Amino acid sequence: MRRVLVTGANGFIGSHLVEALEASGADVTTVDCRRPRFDDPLVPGVGRQVHLDLLHDDLDDVVAGCEVVFHLAARPGVRGSWGNTFGDYLATNVHATQRLLEVCRRRDVRRLVFASSSSVYGDAIGPSCEDDECRPMSPYGVTKLAAEQLCLSYARREDSPLSVVALRYFTVYGPRQRPDMAFSRMLFAAFTGLPLTLFGDGTQRREFTYVSDVVAATMAAADADARDEVINVGGGASVSMIEAIDLASQVVGRPIPLNAVAGMPGDVPATRADLALARELLGYTPSVDLHEGLSRQAAWMRDLPNERLVAFTR
């Protein structure tokens, strides 16, 4: 049993990752400064669950003895990153990451897997490749790119035992997805009949990736043959928002009323992932298509008690 650490363990992707790591037999320590949004328990028997703040608390004890650190803790969201909140994004996504990297280097961690984002690419033309120029269109994307580069710089130190794989996730969805994200809002509108706010004209395209595929790629990254690598993790297909809304309506069996408004700053016209490097280094091929993944997310939402659905109205 190798010992691993997961930061952001109570989050959407983090909670799924912890479950899979536990099932694989890893000795898991989880770190988060927040409670799970839906109060879903992680997994019975998780080795250690530690409540601490990566930005302020001492990290040596939780990192000591870990072979792999999965760093998923972050402040998410493109639209919320403008204005006075930017300091929070900078502190959480960049400064906290640098503090964790220092401890990983000092404690001889072998591999750090960093959860990056397709937002680092910005307004891309065609499938985004890891070697493409990154031109993020939001402060959030800027902080994720900065944190990604910080991780790589620590791996490139001659005296560092640490290797890094940064995974650029493309729009992850599935059970426990944040209420403010697209599929959560679509499904909630379908279930309730309340209007869905559509930003822009609906022609913008996104590559959606089911959470179990993201978890599989993240776990594979722990043992990939790499020193300082960036790898895309996508769902294998890019669809328009109108197509996604139609599919969500089909899955639930109800129409989704729309309230169209202007597009938001930082929203890119399209995302699409080149997955050649993921296939080569991670053996990764997405296995859950959009219809199946949306059906699973809808089934999870359908089973939520009414008091938990309040989160989707905020």
Q: Which residues are catalytic?
A: 140
| CB hemisphere CA count around 312 (13 angstroms) | 26
Which whole-number Å values give the CA distances from 236 to 223, 270, 271, 289, in the listed order? Answer: 23, 14, 11, 8
Q: Which of 240, 202, 212 is nearest to 297 (CA)?
A: 212
| Residue 244 main-chain phi, psi, to 5 deg | -65, -40
Q: What's the token pair of residue 193?
A: 């009949």
How many CB atoms sit inside 10 A of residue 158's CB? 4
Q: Which of 62, 71, 131, 135 is nearest to 98 (CA)?
A: 71
CA-CA distance, 99 to 83, in Å (whole number)?
A: 25
CA-CA distance, 26 to 203, in Å (whole number)?
A: 43
